[in-house]
């Protein structure tokens, strides 16, 4: 699954009544975790103590239009860069009423590390397989 549907709730908004930037990044992370689950990747096991971790080492988000409480959104995930120990996910956000219009775009860069040594570790085969299913060109 490389799309995620969600409603914007009051708790996602700031005092001005629009989505708070950190809330949309959190929602993008929900989309990421849901996509992993749909690919039968157990996120809890993947990042359990003594195993691996996939910390986000960079995140950014751009808003092109405001999002409000009650908006139904669609988030499309794509992998734009895949290396041995890291990957970048792009999240394109649109409103369900106008899915062709991108209202926000976010990016997260993840690095795979061994939790015991805190050193980079190759991505698991299952994660690479999932990333390849959502891979796209850098033009997105």
Catalytic residue among 12, 14, 72, 125: 14
Alpha helices in 96-140 (DSSP H): 125-133
136: its two tokens: 């796209």
Is 14 annotated as catalytic?
Answer: yes
* Spatial separation of the C-alpha atoms in residues 64 and 104, rounded to whole Å: 6
Q: Residues 6 or more apart from 66 whose CB is under 8 A from it? A: 18, 19, 103
The residues annotated with a catalytic role in the active site are 14
């Amino acid at each position: 699954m490389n799309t995620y549907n969600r409603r914007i709730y009051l708790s996602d908004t700031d005092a001005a009544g629009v989505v708070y930037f950190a809330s949309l990044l959190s929602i993008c992370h929900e989309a990421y975790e849901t996509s992993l689950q749909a690919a039968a990747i157990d996120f809890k096991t993947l990042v359990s103590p003594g195993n691996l971790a996939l910390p986000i080492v960079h995140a950014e988000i751009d808003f092109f239009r405001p999002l409000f409480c009650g908006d139904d959104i669609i988030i499309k995930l794509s992998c734009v860069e895949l290396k041995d120990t890291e990957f970048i996910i792009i999240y394109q956000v649109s409103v369900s009423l106008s899915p062709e219009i991108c209202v926000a775009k976010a990016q997260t860069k993840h690095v795979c590390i061994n939790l015991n040594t805190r050193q980079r570790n190759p991505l698991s085969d299952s994660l690479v397989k999932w990333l390849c299913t959502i891979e796209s060109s850098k033009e997105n």
